[in-house]
Structure 1
Amino acid sequence: MAADCIGDYRTLKLLGKGQFGEVYMGERRTDKKRFALKSICTKYVFRGISMDRILREVESHKSLPKHENILDFIESISVGGYLYIVLELCELGTLEDYVTPKNPDRETALSFMVDLARGLNHLHSNGIVHRDIKPENILLAEQARGAPRCKISDFGVARIMDIPSADSKLDGRFGAMGSLAGEEYFNTLCGTPIYLAPEVGDKHYTKHCDIFSLGVVFYVLFSPERTREGRLSPWVKNGTLFYVASDYDIKQQIEKHVHDEGICELILSMLKTDYHSRIPASALEEELLRVAVPDDEVFFVACFLVAVTLMFLIFPAPLFVLALFLLTFGCWQFVPRGFFRGIL
């Protein structure tokens, strides 16, 4: 049970229950700004996880450089046998809360995918393997225009890893930092089964397991299938989980619901059962942008910008503004519904 006042914060209401405790909406008394407060009871051990390990994982989030697609860590406060982690508040809820009723269109789905690719690449670039990528651990922040912004959250089972040097032959098998041995970091079964990568069944964790989990998340953005309870349903056929399905069965399932060839091929490259063959997070954003902005759209916008430049050079200021308005009005119906339309 949270106290009414926690440091400089006043709890407003219970938002839900996380892996290690309850989550509250809190308000900072100095400026009335609202945050999420996650409570962890320091008197107990959760699933064999000591409080020291939890504190180390809090430190991993605290030390992570800020990124627009990673939930912001504000501070941590110890009060009355509880550790409170103060985080950015995303009042739109989780990705599952959004996708289940709305069934986002292609452009919105691609916007989410780019956000998540950027966030995951930020984690991996800073030596963190999340290990529990799923819709419930992706929060949505409202933006002034366009689709909400996705933010990866919940580092409860994340691990800090040494980033290998360029000539490393470890192929992603990072060593663990800190006092805990690598075996303790990698050989503990964790994550959510329906989003797990195949190699996790053998208790083998690398950055590639996050790619597989994110591939399943990408798939559910396009799949209309739901469970009896109305939740997202990432199954292959006959209720088979992705991590035990064959490459052939995964391909059949993805092609069943993802009809855009470029997106389909990208998701399949993330869901290879052999983790060595999966696309890395560092290349994922570039591939998504290539899919999101096809060549015909790039050509159209290039021609539009050339026309604007020529008008700027030819016409005086008042005529340029009028000509630009007429050009934009005349071309608007031909602008592709995609990334550049949001800019124009």
Structure 2
Amino acid sequence: MELRNGTQGRIRSLRRGCKRVEPPSANMRRDVSKVLRPLPVETNDDDEPMEEEDCFSMGFLKNANLEPAMLFAAPRYSLIREVGRGSYGVVYEAIARRSGARVAVKKLRCDAPEKVELALAEFWALASLEKKHENVVQLEECVLQRNGMAQKMSHGNKRNKQYLRLVETSLKGERILGYPEEPCYLWFVMEFCDGGDLNQYILSRRPDPRTNHSFMKQLTSAVAFLHKNNIVHRDLKPDNILISQKSGSPVIKVADFGLSKVCAGLSCIENEGNNQVNKNMVNINKFWLSSACGSDFYMAPEVWEGHYTAKADIFALGIIIWAMIERITFIDAESKRELLGTYIRQGTEIVPVGEALLENPKMVLHIPQRTRSIMSEGIKRLLQDMLAVNPQDRPDAFQLEVRMDQVTCAA
């Protein structure tokens, strides 16, 4: 890693993240031009293909100002341009044929267990949400492609053989026979966010306390919603926080659920009046996880040890908010991008806060870092609580939401 001021630094992390996916192959990039034939929603439980309309088609535009009507040839979605690429796959901007609306389409190749695991984790998390939330990216549909045919995926569909084979691959950790010769893909169609990610948005503008306070409230609202729905994100970072400007004001959208975990509930019976009601109840802050997941700079101390709960999301959020308010950044050595992230200096080394606290639990975090910081005392105390080395000393997502309202209103 390099420091923003140009002096050399080195990150001394253990690099013990979850399974990572290899970059997309050349074959994957070529396959995107293939046209898919979908099954209708009414009959997507069957394995018989429908050939009446296409699902996706590649149509990169030389002129971005073309009218949407010109894209309505045959496909349900016309892929316009590539907007992101990484170990997760490729993301495109696209046009929905029927509505003319812009959408984001993410294509993941499912040819190895670790890739299938990431793809299914994202699908299960987003598909499990019965209600929408303004600050969580919305999944329009998920399409499973194999052999040039496509089916709309539905959560827990036991009649869809292809879906069951993907689940089997993830659980057994083995490649399924036929996949190298017959590539399988998952296409996620989601709402399009036109404001880039949190890094791009914050660092391309002058500091604005009102925007910071708005983003802090939106982020805590999103995490509280996810935890209420038994979802631990496990990879909260500025790269995975998108910005939508459709309404005129910037709106946070928490995205990228590839490392997320849906915590299974415990069935119980509650009495409401004279009636007994079955409810799916789980205390997400007592649901223990063991995979060391996430990105180094945002990982809580207990995540490095591989024994943690949803409180790890609170720690990551504290790192993000601290970096956002004080514009603490580093330059990523690989991408050369300037990224928001808080760290501890140890000589010439840059150490993630969580790792430093793991090594020295009695270490005192100096919040704010900068002597001329405009951070209020209320926000300072809240960040110290969010970054407590002991998860039990951190507020849960619901307590955090209440306190965030209080400190942002008082600031």
Task: Show the 5 A alignment for 1:38-117.
Answer: 38-45=106-113, 49=114, 51=116, 54-55=119-120, 57-64=122-129, 65-79=131-145, 80=148, 81-117=184-220
Q: Which runs of 4+ in 1 moved over 6 A?
A: 164-171
TM-score by length of 2: 0.63
> Who is 2:340 aligned against?
232
Identity of aligned residues (%): 29
Letter in 1 for 2:344: V
> Who is 2:103 aligned against?
35
8 Å contact 1:16–1:24 — kept in the other structure?
yes
Alpha-carbon distance between aligned partners in 2 of 1:56 and 1:19, rounded to the nearest angstrom: 15
Task: Show the 5 A alignment for 1:156-167.
Answer: 156-163=258-265
Shift of 1:107: 1.3
Report SS of the residue matched to 1:172. Answer: helix
Alpha-carbon distance between aligned partners in 2 of 1:225 and 1:69, rounded to the nearest angstrom: 24
Alpha-carbon distance between aligned partners in 2 of 1:152 and 1:174, rounded to the nearest angstrom: 22
Structure-2 change in CA distance of 1:293 and 1:91 (3 Å): same
Alpha-carbon distance between aligned partners in 1 of 2:124 and 2:382, rounded to the nearest angstrom: 34
**Mapped pair 1:254 → 2:372:** no
Letter in 2 for 1:87: M
Shift of 1:100: 1.8
Equivalent of 1:201 in 304, 323, 333: 304
Post-superposition Cα deviations, 1:248-295, rounded to whole Å, max 9, x if no partner, equal 65531435346311111111110001011101100112111111222x
Alpha-carbon distance between aligned partners in 2 of 1:223 and 1:231, rounded to the nearest angstrom: 13
Report SS of the residue matched to 1:82. Answer: strand
> Who is 2:33 aligned against?
3
Structure-2 change in CA distance of 1:192 and 1:53 (3 Å): closer
**Mapped pair 1:16 → 2:84:** yes
Alpha-carbon distance between aligned partners in 1 of 2:188 and 2:207, rounded to the nearest angstrom: 32
Shift of 1:222: 1.5
Count of aligned residue pairs for this structure pair? 281
* More deviation, 194-203/224-233: 224-233
Shift of 1:3: 2.9
Larger RCO, structure (CA 8 Å, separation 6 or more): 2
Report SS of the residue matched to 1:150. Answer: strand
> Who is 1:172 aligned against?
285
**Mapped pair 1:126 → 2:229:** yes
Aligned residues: CA RMSD: 2.6
| Unpaired stretches in structure 1, ≥5 consecutive residues | 176-185, 295-337, 339-344
8 Å contact 1:129–1:210 — kept in the other structure?
yes
Alpha-carbon distance between aligned partners in 1 of 2:220 and 2:310, rounded to the nearest angstrom: 13
> Who is 1:222 aligned against?
325
Equivalent of 2:394 in 278, 299, 319: 278
Shift of 1:87: 0.8
TM-score by length of 1: 0.75
Letter in 2 for 1:32: G
Shift of 1:166: 12
Letter in 1 for 2:366: Q
Letter in 1 for 2:365: K
> Who is 2:355 aligned against?
244
Letter in 2 for 1:30: R
Structure with the largest fraction of strand: 2
> Who is 1:182 aligned against?
none
Shift of 1:103: 4.6
8 Å contact 1:194–1:241 — kept in the other structure?
yes
Letter in 2 for 1:242: V
Structure-2 change in CA distance of 1:214 and 1:52 (3 Å): closer
Report SS of the residue matched to 2:95. Answer: strand
Post-superposition Cα deviations, 1:155-202, rounded to whole Å, max 9, x if no partner, equal 100001135689999782327xxxxxxxxxx32222001110000111
* More deviation, 101-110/187-196: 101-110
Structure-2 change in CA distance of 1:127 and 1:10 (3 Å): same
Shift of 1:154: 0.6
Structure-2 change in CA distance of 1:269 and 1:52 (3 Å): closer
Report SS of the residue matched to 2:400. Answer: helix
Structure-2 change in CA distance of 1:265 and 1:71 (3 Å): same
Structure-2 change in CA distance of 1:71 and 1:162 (3 Å): same
| Unpaired stretches in structure 2, ≥5 consecutive residues | 1-28, 37-54, 56-75, 149-183, 271-280
Alpha-carbon distance between aligned partners in 1 of 2:394 and 2:94, rounded to the nearest angstrom: 40
Letter in 2 for 1:29: R
Report SS of the residue matched to 1:76. Answer: strand
**Mapped pair 1:263 → 2:367:** no
8 Å contact 1:71–1:88 — kept in the other structure?
yes
